[in-house]
Chain A
Amino acid sequence: MEERVLEWDYEIEGKDFRNAGKVSSKVKEIMKELGFDPDFVRGVAIASYEAEMNVVCHAEKGTLHFAILPETLRIVVQDKGPGIPDIDLAMQEGYSTAPLEIREMGFGAGMGLPNMKKNTDELDISSTVGEGTVVEMLIRTPPSKERSE
């Protein structure tokens, strides 16, 4: 059994609320198919979905890169958009600039970034105002996990 890197790339459209979540749904399906533990899958899906929703809610468009490495999962969400002027502030629970239309859909509580932190082992955000944002998340795969391939 040789270790290979499995990776996928998806596009995310800003303000396309009808399709928002499709990409994370794919990520979740892949993980389920590969036989990862359901609780682990749920945490990864939540982190991925929060990042995807941030592109839909706050940016113009973006991409999601998902890679399964030997001991970690890596999700990189990159967008073209307004960027985040103060990342520490954005990371605070409850901080949100989401407009009314987003709040009416049940989002915009300012909990997405903290929740991504909670569900990942490493969260790295870099952003340039007026250009866009890159969110990188690393999640260690459970050690007990033995996947048959």
Chain B
Amino acid sequence: MQLWEIKGILEAELLWEPVDLQLEIETAEAADLMSDVLSQSIGGELLLTGLINSQVIRTAEMVDIKAITFIHGKRPDAKTIALAQQKGILLLTTNLFLFEACARLAMRGLTGSSGTIW
């Protein structure tokens, strides 16, 4: 699934630009625990989270996450956004709650790292 589709499905806003809207996202994961993100041997390329501190960006960087979606209208501060931009990690924010955001993406065919939902 390409980034522009994800942005549309989640009615999300980009937090820094310009970005490549054709970026291919194959898998997603959702977590509020950075330890969980770090303990997955193969994580997702998109992370959905309710956390907005700069450690989310650092953690994403370590595990090669390409894009992060903050849920419930959350926005990190300017320094955190700048760090993500520097690292080339795309940031989106959606007003949806975590479950709704995940459900929408899954219904449109995006999966987790196992490659299947069922």
Contact = CB atoms under 8 A, between A and B. Distances in A.
22 contacts: A17-B53, A18-B54, A21-B58, A25-B61, A28-B62, A46-B38, A46-B62, A46-B63, A49-B59, A49-B62, A106-B31, A106-B34, A106-B49, A106-B51, A107-B34, A109-B35, A111-B35, A111-B36, A111-B38, A114-B39, A115-B35, A115-B38
Contact of A106 (B33, B39, B41, B61): B33
Contact of A49 (B32, B38, B49, B54): B38
Majority SS of interface residues in chain B? helix
A97 to B, nearest CB: 14
Chain B interface extent, by class:
20 to 34
Contacts of A18: 54, 79
Interface residues of A, number: 26
B114 interface: no
A35 interface: no
B91 interface: no
Interface string A90-120: 0000000000000001111111101100100
